[in-house]
Amino acid sequence: MDGFTFTYDDFHVLEPVVVLCLFGCLILLSDAFLVRRVGKRGLNAVTALVAEGIVMISVLGYLAEVRAGGALSGLGGSVVVDGFGVFFNVIFVLAATLTILLSARYMESEGEHRGEYYALLLFAQAGMSLMATGQDLVVLFVALETMALSFYVLVGFLRRSRKSNEAAMKYLILGAFSSGLLAYGFSVLYGIGGSTGLAAVGEAVAAREAEDWATALALVTITVGLFFKISAVPFHMWAPDVYEGAPTPTTAYVSVASKAASFALMIRLFIEVFGSAAESWMPLLAAIALVTMTIGNLAAVTQTNLKRLLAYSSIAHAGYILLGLVAGNETGLRGIAIYILAYVFMNFGAFALIAALRRDGEAAEELDDLNGLFARAPGYTILVAILMLSLAGIPPMAGFYGKYYIFLALLGEGHYFLAVVAALYVAVAAFYYFRVIRACWLSQGSDTPAVLEMGLGSRVALIGCGVLTVVIGLFPQRFLDLAGESVLAAVK
């Protein structure tokens, strides 16, 4: 690194990270000195939304540049903005924006509406943004930890709630453990490659013989670390408790954004570093994907708490997404991208509903609380039905296309057994998503029914998610193209 100078290019690839960190600090300061005196905590949300707007502009700028002239590289090649990174950054902006929209009303009702919350949301996003663009083991690890540390606090943000504290504790311990494993794996990779750059490490791994113990060690530790992050079975135990205990908007954020970021990291590592060893990790990944779908789907069937139900359903979704990686071809990766994009909207929509559901001012999170919702909010119930159909993967909803590509990829690679099992689990999944629909539409409400208390933010979020789920479903061309571009960058 002789003669290292910080040029505009170096800054340019970091734009979203810089903007997010600056705005995070700004929120902390303005909250302390300005907002607290005015007494309008909503202002913090507005500031955070402004930050998201700027990041979105910056990311769309990237998209135009990448389309015109290929990937942008900076910081000595340790951060590279390519189509893949741009795509995931779009996902993070969408997820963070939706989280902010949901949070204002919810945190107010819970009596924990403070500035740090939004600052942490942005810091987490800064970490995720780098996870998708980093090309260096150290950068990636720091990015991952930035995200994870922010999330530990966010999950426990309801200080007075026991469940929230418990969730934070569990998340912290297991998260730290998985980060440790990951760091260990990274150190082995550094030993193999003599460099922290992914490209150099990848070459070194490819140069080694197939049955190499060092590669295997790195592979296993890194895989297990990442399995924790994406809550793949058998490393999923934390997910239901954390999902249940965390503030609902944070749950949505963890389940969508942190998972997307971890998948981005996973795809990068598996394709760029372990691509040559695909034969050895493919069966492992296939087995884990199969078990993850099985446990996720079967456990979800018996849940009575909505957040736990969605937690298990998200485990099942992780199984499907893993299958895209098992197929490992371009179609499979395209499937992962479109799956995650659709997942943002359908999952946030579902959590927007739960965040708004209240009985006597208390958060209502049981399946039974939805009973007879149709009589009270017919319009929103239609949206719920759409979101659930999409989660189940019924066409023409957005959620269908992810499954479509993943099935196609599996069939193309000759994984018929996996495809058949995965397809049949669609029917199992439909069963529990229809329990939600059934509660809303078919069951009678009790005398003191839970009601939807929606602020402007959650209205926008829920309606936006529902409408986009249908729009992407009916006119997916543009979104499929975007996903396709991102994949081409990853495969190259």
Contact status: 441 vs another protein (CB under 8 A): yes
138: three-class secondary structure by DSSP: helix
| Binding flag, residue 184, another protein (CB under 8 A) | no
Helix (H, G, I), strand (E, B) or coil at 79: strand
Q: Which residue has the tokens 């150190």?
A: 187
Q: What is the DSSP string of 373-408?
A: HHHH-HHHHHHHHHHHHHHHT-TTSHHHHHHHHHHH
Query: Among 403, 416, 407, which Cα is nearest to 473's?
Result: 403
Q: Does 407 bind another protein (CB under 8 A)?
A: yes
Name which of 11 and 431 has its Cβ closer to another protein: 431
Member of 336, 356, 387, 389 binding another protein (CB under 8 A): 389
Please tell me the total number of residues recorded for the chain in this structure: 492
Tell the smallest beta-carbon distance from residue 305 to another protein (Å). Answer: 20
What is the three-class DSSP state of 339? helix
Strand-pairing partners, residue 73, are: 80
Q: In this structure, what token pair is assigned to residue 39?
A: 């007494």
Coil, strand or helix: which one is 360?
coil
| List 377, 426, 451, 467, residue binding another protein (CB under 8 A) | 426
Minimum CB distance to another protein, residue 269 (Å): 28
- Name the one range near another protein by CB under 8 A: 197-205, 228-236, 415-423, 453-461: 415-423
Residue whose CB is less far from another protein, 220 or 430: 430
Query: What are the residue ranges of helices labelled H in 272-329?
Result: 278-301, 306-327
Give the count of beta carbons closer than 10 Å to the beta carbon of residue 77.
Answer: 13
The candidate with the shortest Cα–Cα distance to 20, out of 102, 133, 109, 111, is: 133
3-class DSSP assignment, residue 116: helix
- Using CB under 8 A as the binding rule, whether residue 484 contacts another protein is answered as yes
Q: How far is the CB of 287 from another protein (least distance, A)?
A: 21
User: Whose Cβ is closer to another protein: residue 170's or residue 415's?
Assistant: 415
Among 427, 446, 456, 492, binds another protein (CB under 8 A): 427
**Is residue 420 within the footprint of another protein (CB under 8 A)?**
yes
> Which one of 50, 67, 302, 481 is in contact with another protein (CB under 8 A)?
481
Residue 444 as a binder of another protein (CB under 8 A): the answer is no
- The smaller minimum CB distance to another protein, of residues 266 and 472, is found at 472
Residue 438 interacts with another protein (CB under 8 A): yes or no = yes
Q: Quick one: which of 42, 396, 445, 449 contacts another protein (CB under 8 A)?
A: 396
Residue 445 contacts another protein per CB under 8 A: no
**Minimum distance from CB of 329 to another protein (Å)?**
11
Identify the CA nearest to 355 among candidates 49, 124, 108, 42. Answer: 108
Compute φ and ψ for 156, nearest 5 degrees.
-95, 25
Using CB under 8 A as the criterion, which residues of the chain lie in contact with another protein when the complex forms?
Answer: 385, 389, 394-396, 404, 407-408, 411-412, 419-420, 423-424, 426-427, 430-431, 434, 438, 441-442, 475-477, 480-481, 484
